[in-house]
């Protein structure tokens, strides 16, 4: 599986800048783009690769090499028309995952119909949280409970299959606590520690954020 992904962020408002900055701080390669030159100049202090460009122009998308990007985050919720055009151009360019910030549920439906792979509403998902989700290869979702403690939904790793929680001793090895087990649509909080884990299961765990990152 490819883990060193290439990211692009369109729109460097508060949300888009937070996504790009968090990705950069975690070592990811990020191309950040905004049509406002002043915004680009300001963002370049914390995001190395910033460009001032109109991402609704097909020729610009081609020149920027967006077809080489694995993930594009479109953060222009206030401009539905530009978001639609950018999404369509990215999908036409072959971008595997296009994530679009939307202003409301109706816009989410529109963006999904024109090809967005994921939509987010800023009130319910912070830019930093989105960036951490993108970077957490083994984490399905992550919620920061405090500055140092997080709760994540973790897929069962291949080496864990067929073993139970007693055998794995995750608390001792990684300092994490399993609080729930998900299988299909069933969520079990009364966990049998002797139950063997399977690839179809997911674990809800709580632990120190730094230690959790070692499970990537």
Instruction: Give me the tens of pLDDT residue by residue for the chain, a chain 216 residues long.
Output: 334 789 999 999 988 998 899 888 888 889 999 999 999 999 999 999 999 999 999 999 999 999 999 999 999 888 889 999 999 999 999 999 999 998 888 888 899 998 999 888 865 455 656 666 655 544 445 555 556 677 777 888 899 999 999 999 888 888 888 888 888 777 787 788 899 999 988 888 888 777 776 665
Domain with CATH 3.40.50.720 in the chain: 6-135
CA dist 130 and 136 (Å) reads 10
- Tell the CATH topology of 139-213: Alpha-Beta Plaits (3.30.70)
DSSP state of 39: H
- Residue 99 · residue 131 · CB < 8 Å: no
Contacts of 103 (CB under 8 A, 6+ apart): 77, 78, 80, 121
pTM: 0.61
- Tell the CATH topology of 6-135: Rossmann fold (3.40.50)
Domain with CATH 3.30.70.1450 in the chain: 139-213
């Amino acid at each position: 599986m490819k883990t060193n992904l290439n990211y692009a962020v369109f729109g460097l408002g508060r949300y888009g800048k937070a996504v790009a900055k968090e990705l950069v701080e975690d070592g990811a390669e990020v191309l950040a783009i905004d049509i406002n030159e002043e915004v680009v100049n300001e963002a370049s202090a914390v995001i190395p690769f910033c460009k001032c460009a109109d991402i609704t122009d097909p020729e610009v998308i081609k020149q920027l090499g967006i077809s080489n990007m694995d993930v594009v985050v479109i953060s222009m919720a206030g401009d539905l028309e530009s978001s639609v055009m950018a999404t369509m151009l990215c999908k036409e360019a072959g971008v595997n995952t296009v994530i679009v910030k939307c202003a409301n549920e109706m816009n989410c439906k529109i963006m999904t119909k024109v090809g967005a792979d994921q939509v987010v509403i800023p009130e319910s998902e912070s830019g930093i949280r989105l960036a951490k989700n993108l970077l957490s290869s083994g984490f399905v979702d992550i919620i920061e409970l405090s500055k140092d403690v997080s709760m994540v939904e973790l897929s069962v790793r291949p080496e864990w299959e067929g073993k139970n929680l007693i055998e794995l001793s995750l608390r001792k090895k990684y300092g994490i606590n399993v609080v729930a087990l998900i299988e299909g649509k069933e969520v079990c909080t009364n966990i049998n520690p002797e139950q063997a884990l399977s690839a179809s299961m997911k674990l809800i765990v709580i632990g120190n954020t730094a230690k959790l990152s070692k499970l990537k």
